Structures are given as C-alpha cells and as structure tokens.
Structure 1
Amino acid sequence: MATSPVETVTTSADKAKLFLAVAFVVAAVAGFYAFGRQGPLVQWGVLLVGLVLSAAMVLVSEPGRQFIGFARDSWREVKKVVWPTRKETLQMTAYVFAFVVIMALFLWATDKVLEWTLYDLILGWKK
C-alpha cells in the first residue's frame, strides 16, 4: 500500500526540536573533548549520550516521523526485490567478463589497423 505524498508545514516547535538536536550534537562533541582527562570511557559515554539525545529529538519532530515512514516503506520495497540465484549471478558475471575480453581484443585490433594504416601506408614510417 503506497502512501501519497503529503506536504506538511514545519511548525516552530519542529524547528526548535531540530535546533535542539543540533545543539545536542555540538554539546556531545564539545563534551567529548572537554572530558579528555577523565578517560576514554567517560569521553565516549558523553558523546554517545549526546548523539542518542540528538537522534531522539530528531525522531520526535515531524521531519523525523516522515523519515521513519520513508524508511519503513523503503524496507518494505527491498523485501519485494527478487534477487538472482547464485547460478544466475555467476552466469551474468561470466558474460560481462567475456564481453570485456572481446571488446579489449576488438579495440586492440582496431588500434593496430589504424597504426599500420597511418604510420606504414600514409606516412611511410617503418618501424
């Protein structure tokens, strides 16, 4: 079931939530460096907490909810994809390699014919 695209107006509350999320990221990075003397466990804890708070703040805003809906729809579409079997994949890979080899031989032969025509016949430069 496909959802129809709906345009929503971003409210000032959503803008404030997104601003707060950016502030949490900035505070998390600043805290990571500010707590450098406390040890790596505290540093990474402060960073992780700030990033989780930021993600939570984004996800409760309207753009965050739209993103969650988009991600769910995308995952549903990925489940519908019919992936090739191992045999089909190997066959197509072999076809591609064969085409590359044939094309390389064709281009090499074309190059040699043009080289012979230009240098030996037209210009008379013998090697």
Structure 2
Amino acid sequence: MGVNPMANAMMVIYPYRDRDMWVFDDEATGLVKEPFVFGVPEMIDAATATIPDAAQGFRLIFSAKPFPGYQHELLWVREEYEGNWYRWRSTGQEGWLCPALFKYFDAAPAAIYCRMEPSS
C-alpha cells in the first residue's frame, strides 16, 4: 500500500453536486464528473454540513499521511470489485472508493486523511 511516487504528498480536488450526485473533475488525471458512490455521498453530506453552499463545490485536501489540520481519517477495510472500502474512524460509516483512487495512489493506502473546506 502506498503513494504513487509521482504524486504530491497532499492532493486537492473540488467535489460538487451534479444531478443529485457528488462528483469531481480533475484535468490532471482525465477525470470528469467522476461520481462518489456506495456510502461515500452520505459521508460527504455529513462532513460538509457546516460548509456554506458545499453543493456548489468545496475543497477536499487529502493525503495518505496525517497533516496539520486534517479533520477526518478513513481507514482501509477491504478490497472489492477493483475498488476499496474505507471506514470513517469517527462515525463508523463505510464507503467504497472506485478504481479512480489509483489515479492518486499506486495502491490503496491504509488510511486517507482529509480536510474539507469552502473552495473560496
């Protein structure tokens, strides 16, 4: 399990709502309207409840290592259908991250640390 050696230690995406789904675009990886599915939307809803207008977009900073100011820790649970299940440590909620995860990591990290904040 590890970080892609070509990737930054800290990565940023800007999720937003499109047709009642949380999605994100990342020109550097070729992802457009990449959806979050299977438990992750509910996790995002809970984590962004205090971010004004989060549905219009918010900043999601993430890393395989803890960093100053991280808010959420997702722990690896298991692999399934080429994706990976993670458990949000503080709530116990689980969500599946699809193979797009490997655009950022060369293998599923043991933990993913996140910070969610307004995009502006």
- Structure number having the greater helix percentage: 1
Q: Tell me which protein shows more strand as a share of its residues.
A: 2
TM-score (norm 2): 0.20
